[in-house]
Each structure stands twice: as C-alpha cells, then as structure tokens.
Amino acid sequence: MSIPEEIDFEVDADDLTPLAEDGKALGSPSLVVDDLYVTYRVFGGKRVGNATGQKPGVLKRFLSGGRTHVGGVTSVEAIKGVSFVARHGESIGVVGINGSGKSTLMRAIAGLIPPTHGAVYVSGDPSLLGVNAVLMGSLTGERNVMIGGLALGLTPDEVRERFDEIVDFSGIGDAIYLPMKAYSSGMGARLRFAISSAAVPDVLMIDEALATGDAAFRKKSKARIDAIRDQAGTVFLVSHSLATIESICSRTLWVHQGKLVMDGPSAEVCAAYKAFVRAQDGASR
C-alpha cells in the first residue's frame, strides 16, 4: 500500500466561517454521473514483467528485452464505475489520497476527458479550474485573460468588460502585462481562478486551487464560491485540507483507487476518511 500523504488536520482557517446550514432546499439535478469508467492510454511506460519474483533466464531476457522498448503502451484505469447525482445549489467536496482519481473524475465531469464507458450528464457548460491547468506560459496574463475568457464562451466585448474585475480579483496588479511563465505558482493559480470564475458556470469544479492562495485570497475565493452557489450553481472542491472542505461543502465524496467509497454529509465522510488515513499511517510505521 502507498503511504498516504500528509493531511492538513489543523483548522488553520481563522477566516473560514463554519458552513451556515440555512436549510435551503436543493434544486433540480445539475449533474448525473452514470457508471463512469475512464481509461488512459499512456505511452512510454515500461512493461512490467512476470511477478513471480524469479529472475528470468538469459534466453528469456534476450527475447523479451526488446519488447520493453517497443510498443510500451499502458492502459491505466483511473476511474472504475462511479455513479452519483448532484443538484443545483449543492457544494460537494472530493477527498482521497494522491492518485485515487479525484482530478480525473473532475476532468471527466467537465467533458475534458472522454469516458471509456458510462456517461456524464450536465446542465450548461461546466468549468474546471485547477492548479495544474496551465494557460499559455509564453503569453502575457492579459492575453491569457482574453484567451481563457473566449475559450469559456464569452464574447470579446464581455471579456474586455470584465477585464478590470478579473485583474482586481486576482490581485496581481501590473504583473498582468508580464508573460505567465514569470509568475509564481500562487499568482498563476489566482489568475486562473479569477478567469474561470469570471463566467458563472452551472457547475464549477475547483481542483486544489484554494491551497495555493494566501489567507486573504482564500477569503475572497470563498466569497466567490458562495456567490456561485447562490446563483443555483453546483460547486465541486477537490482539496487535501479537510478543514476547508468541512467549512465550504455540505456533502463529500471519498474516492479511492478509482471507486466511490463513501458519499454523504461532509462531517461523516471526513471523519471516516481521517480514520482511514490514521490507520494507514499506523500500518506503515
């Protein structure tokens, strides 16, 4: 078993107010995931030989030696049969250890990775923002705002209209006129968050983007997420910070090895996940 990564157990977020349970009735379904499978085709991997533990003979090694260098294609099953329904106005946390398939699940929902089996049904255009999603590094932040906005389906005039707001929100100031490759990872993440949330999507997915911001930015982005949720959108939050998830999300999905292990109220799922990670931690020690 893999060693689970460090989890942010501390409730560090002095600025994160606890989730207000206002008892608001949830809307109609905004997202249906039906028995979803995603298989990646990965080139350039090394063929894994027989797992008997015995060293193969000289002749066998000679015969199979070439095959590790020719036709090294591996199929990786990242998601194996996930089903759930999300509703308008819901904010859903996604937890799981590294490599459990969280990001792939988000991308498949956003329509960025086609499913190999099963289906995803969404209302409107879903939007994904993650710290990994790089725009064009060689272009200035300004051009990236335009390209990102247009890619999201805004018109050039709409992007120009919102340009100041996007820059203000990201708080990176004059750095907007520098190429994005000169940005720090935090600045890049802030700008991406500002761009992706400029068009209010029906379904917004945030992939660990909040982790990179400082305290002030986290507060701002929480306000933005709340605003999107109020406009009857659905928000997904992938994070390793259970404190963040518990304070923002009412419901949580726990993904492990490509399967949905648990789906329920955040407090319950987070507690179970915490117990699981502690047990793993103990076992590996």
CB of 156 to other proteins, least distance (A): 5
Nearer to other proteins, 128 or 245 (CB): 128
- In whole angstroms, give the CA distance from residue 157 to residue 223: 26
Q: Which is nearer to other proteins, 69 or 285 (CB)?
A: 69
Closer to other proteins by Cβ: residue 38 or 176: 38
CB of 42 to other proteins, least distance (A): 7
60 or 160: CB nearest other proteins: 160
Residue type, 85: V
Nearer to other proteins, 44 or 53 (CB): 44
How many CB atoms sit inside 10 A of residue 205's CB?
27
**Least spacing, CB of residue 7 vs other proteins, in Å:** 26
> Of 2 and 132, which CB lies nearer to other proteins in the complex structure?
132
Q: How far apart (Å, rounded) are the C-alpha atoms in residues 149 and 192?
A: 10
- For the CB of residue 96, give the shortest distance to other proteins in the complex, in Å: 19
Kindly state the smallest distance separating residue 1's Cβ from other proteins, in Å: 28
CB of 147 to other proteins, least distance (A): 6
Residue type, 252: T
Contact set with other proteins (CB under 8 A): 28-32, 34-35, 38-43, 83, 85, 107-116, 119-130, 132-136, 138-139, 143, 146-148, 150-153, 155-156, 179
Beta-sheet pairing, 251-256 with 91-95 = parallel
